[in-house]
């Protein structure tokens, strides 16, 4: 009787062990399927879902002092954020150019921190130390002229636009994306 009981316990123990191994194996296969087989597909789907829209409540309105002079006023403003996800450089560059042209058409402003002008080519930083620091941060030879630095950035961002003014507009936004690691 005791031998039979021990045999039953061993059988039960072996069944539990086998079930544990089978469940573990199924989970590992599913993990492999999610990570390796379909990982890239899920990553791309996730990247395309990173678009956000947020609505802010209306401002309180104008604030005046006791004489009726405006201290604070309400002004509507919009912010446009552009994140590079899975689109190729040419599509991104053309999209940026269209957005900038639309902004300019509506007389809106955009951030321009690119320290290179194009007519004539020159650096907005007049101090050599600042120029060299900027060149080093952007992997540009410290002896490069403003035109050479412009061409290097144009190559880096894969800008195919031949019109220098349009190329600079694209470069301004791409530089800002790189600078802010967007």
Q: What is the pLDDT of residues 134-167, one digit of tens each?
A: 888 888 888 888 889 999 999 998 899 889 999 9
Query: What is the dihedral sign for C-alpha 98, 104, 109, 115?
Result: positive
At residue 137, the pLDDT reads 87
57: helix, strand or coil? coil
Task: Compute the distance between CA of residue 125 and CA of residue 41 in angstroms, rounded to an integer.
Answer: 45
At residue 58, the pLDDT reads 66
> Which structure tokens are listed for 108?
């809106």
Quickly list DSSP for 63-90.
EE-TTS-EEE-------------S--HH
For 55-103, the pLDDT digits (tens) are 767 667 788 888 888 888 877 777 777 666 677 888 888 988 999 999 8
> Which structure tokens are listed for 93?
């560059």
For 35, 41, 118, 123, 140, the CA distances from 103, given in Å and listed in that order, are: 41, 34, 20, 25, 30
Average pLDDT for 155-180: 89
Task: Compute the distance between CA of residue 126 and CA of residue 124 in angstroms, rounded to an integer.
Answer: 6
At residue 64, the pLDDT reads 85
For 38-50, the pLDDT digits (tens) are 888 887 777 666 6
For 10-47, the pLDDT digits (tens) are 888 999 999 999 999 999 999 999 888 888 888 777 76
At residue 53, the pLDDT reads 67
């Amino acid at each position: 009787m005791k031998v039979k009981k021990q045999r039953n316990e061993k059988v039960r123990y072996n069944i539990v062990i086998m079930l544990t191994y089978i469940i573990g194996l199924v989970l590992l296969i599913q993990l492999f399927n999610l990570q390796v087989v379909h990982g890239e597909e899920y990553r791309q789907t996730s990247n395309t879902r990173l678009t956000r829209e947020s609505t802010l409540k209306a401002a309180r309105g104008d604030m005046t002092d006791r004489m009726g002079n405006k201290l604070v006023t309400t002004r509507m403003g919009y912010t446009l954020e552009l994140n590079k996800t899975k689109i190729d450089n040419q599509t991104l560059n053309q999209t940026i150019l269209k957005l900038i042209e639309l902004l300019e058409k509506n007389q809106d402003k955009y951030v321009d921190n690119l320290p290179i002008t194009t007519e004539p080519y020159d650096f907005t930083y007049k101090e050599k130390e600042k120029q060299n620091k900027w060149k080093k941060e952007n992997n540009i030879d410290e002896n490069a002229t403003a035109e050479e630095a412009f061409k290097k950035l144009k190559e880096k961002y894969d800008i195919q636009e031949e019109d220098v003014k349009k190329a600079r507009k694209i470069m301004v936004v791409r530089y800002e994306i790189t600078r802010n690691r967007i």
